Amino acid sequence: MAENHRKDEGFVELGYAKADTDRARRQQAAEVIYGEGKSVEQIAGIVEALLAHGQERVLVTRLDADKAAELAVRKADAFDSHPLRYYDEPRIGIFGDMPPADGKGTVLVIAAGTSDIAVAEEAAVTAEFLGNEVERCYDVGVSGIHRLLARLDVIEKARVIVAVAGLEGALPSVVGGLASAPVIAVPTSVGYGASFGGLAALLGMLNSCASGVSVVNIDNGFGAAFQASLINHLP
């Protein structure tokens, strides 16, 4: 497979990938790499192409700690101007520095249980990477509603809310009823048995009795944060 790096038409041809260098213009956000199933070489190649094309920072999601270590050590030279910082819990790697928070308000990331924190942190770190001030509020599941009501202030002052929950996924319904901000719900695969890998939470959120709630894929903290950031940066 030829490796001729064509730099036209808004993408860089790497053979195994066409790095989209036009996305920043189109979507007001830079290219992000989904790390799952990509080799260290492939990830490094795409990051290099993007940095070479002028992008200031690159985020890699679903990045195993092993691959991160290899990227940090073996590829240290290639990225010395944009060293890799690794976030263990959400398995995110970021090349380059975090940007200043230039959104209009706060993105609240709220999570039902301790086990949902990995996904919640994927959302939170992504939102920070995209230039948002982030507020975190964890372990406020609806079976202890007083824990949630104790945080009404942060719910009411958020500009966008990312609500993360596994099991029955009821948190967005309650939050959606309390908040005036749009709520982006993230079902997680936390649970067992009839949770069916997050299906129960997903269906629960899609059927939410609260208005103003939309949903992303199971465990897709990144996707929720991406949309939250778009909303938070609307002029």
We find the least distance from the C-beta atom of residue 97 to a copy of itself, in angstroms, to be 21
Name which of residues 93 to 112 contact a copy of itself (CB under 8 A): 104-105, 112
Out of 16, 41, 98, 157, name the contact with a copy of itself by CB under 8 A. Answer: 16
Chain centre distance of CA 106: 15
- Binding part of the chain for a copy of itself, among 67-75, 80-88, 90-98, 147-155 by CB under 8 A, reads 147-155
Q: Could you tell me how many residues of this chain bind a copy of itself (CB under 8 A)?
A: 100
What the block records as the tokens of 28 is: 């007001």
Name which of residues 191 to 220 contact a copy of itself (CB under 8 A): 191-220
We find the least distance from the C-beta atom of residue 7 to a copy of itself, in angstroms, to be 13
Asked if 40 and 70 count as a contact pair (C-beta separation under 8 A), the reply is: yes
Q: Name which of 22 and 76 has its Cβ closer to a copy of itself.
A: 22
- Report the DSSP beta bridge partners of residue 133: 106
Out of 26, 77, 80, 153, name the contact with a copy of itself by CB under 8 A. Answer: 26
How far apart, in whole angstroms, are the C-alpha atoms of residue 183 and residue 206?
12
Q: Name which of 15 and 83 has its Cβ closer to a copy of itself.
A: 15
| Measured distance between the N- and C-terminal CA atoms of the chain, rounded to whole angstroms | 44
- The yes or no reply on residue 55 touching a copy of itself (CB under 8 A) is no
- The yes or no reply on residue 42 touching a copy of itself (CB under 8 A) is yes
Q: Is 111 exposed, middle or buried (0-12, 13-18, 19+ CB in 10 A)?
A: buried
- Report the DSSP beta bridge partners of residue 59: 32, 94
Asked if 54 and 19 count as a contact pair (C-beta separation under 8 A), the reply is: no
- The yes or no reply on residue 234 touching a copy of itself (CB under 8 A) is yes
- The yes or no reply on residue 49 touching a copy of itself (CB under 8 A) is no
What is the spatial order of strands in the sheet that 92-95 belongs to?
32-34, 58-61, 92-95, 84-87
Q: Is 46 exposed, middle or buried (0-12, 13-18, 19+ CB in 10 A)?
A: buried
Out of 49, 117, 123, 134, name the contact with a copy of itself by CB under 8 A. Answer: 117
Out of 159, 163, 164, 221, name the contact with a copy of itself by CB under 8 A. Answer: 159
